[in-house]
């Protein structure tokens, strides 16, 4: 077989520069037109990004407004509410004998634990979306209020069904905490 260099090229093809290596080099080379290069430099994404980054860094707000002992108090409050959620999650196991004797309902005893976990699991993703859309402080306060309302309902429950509803409400509010 012969290479491309050995093939005969017609005079017409030579005039158009089809078979020569210089035409390939010219085709692949960057254009010498200065206007084309100026336009591409003006539309460069990197130049625009650098300008925006300089503006954004000058206007950045610090990640938190609270420092010192106030910050420690906020962290302590969040951790204590997480502790209460964990405590409420496990406390039913200790008081099951009292609940069975007081309400005389062994058949619904398993619903006390399940209602809490179903309420927490069913609303976990919902709370994530709500925290992303609304003010985190007030959403957190709403979750703590729901959790405490459920705990109050459990504490004053006259029937086993009210106790189950209170546990479910604790799970819904606790999931957001």
List pLDDT tens digits, range 161-170: 999 999 999 9
Q: Measure the CA angle with vertex 152, ends 150 and 156; round to 5°.
A: 120
Task: Map tokens 């039913």 to a residue.
Answer: 92
Across the range 56-65, mean pLDDT stands at 67
**Count of CB atoms situated within 10 Å of the CB of 170:** 27
7, 68, 130 from 144: Cα distances, Å: 85, 24, 14
Q: Map residue 153 onto helix, strand or coil.
A: helix
Tell me what the mean pLDDT of segment 154-158 comes to: 92
Residue among 81, 99, 72 nearest 177 (CA):
81
Query: Residue 177: pLDDT band by 50, 70, 90 thresholds?
Result: confident
In the structure, what pLDDT confidence band is assigned to residue 60 with cuts at 50, 70 and 90?
confident
Query: What is the pTM assigned to this prediction?
Result: 0.59
Chain centroid to CA 147? 23
């Amino acid at each position: 077989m012969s290479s491309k260099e050995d093939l005969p090229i017609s005079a017409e093809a030579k005039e158009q520069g089809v078979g020569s290596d210089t035409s390939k080099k010219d085709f692949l080379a960057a254009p010498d037109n200065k206007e084309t290069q100026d336009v591409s430099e003006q539309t460069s994404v990197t130049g625009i990004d650098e300008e925006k980054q300089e503006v954004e860094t000058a206007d950045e707000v610090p990640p938190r407004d609270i420092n010192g002992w106030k910050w420690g108090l906020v962290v302590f409050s969040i951790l204590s509410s997480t502790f209460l959620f964990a405590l409420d999650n496990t406390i039913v196991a200790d008081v099951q004998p009292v609940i069975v004797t007081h309400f005389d309902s062994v058949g619904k005893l398993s619903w006390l634990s399940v209602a809490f976990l179903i309420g927490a699991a069913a609303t976990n993703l919902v709370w994530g979306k709500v925290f992303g859309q609304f003010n985190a402080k007030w959403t957190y306060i709403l979750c703590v209020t729901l959790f405490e309302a459920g705990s109050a309902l459990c504490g004053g429950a006259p029937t086993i069904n009210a106790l189950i509803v209170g546990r479910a409400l604790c799970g819904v509010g606790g999931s957001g905490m």
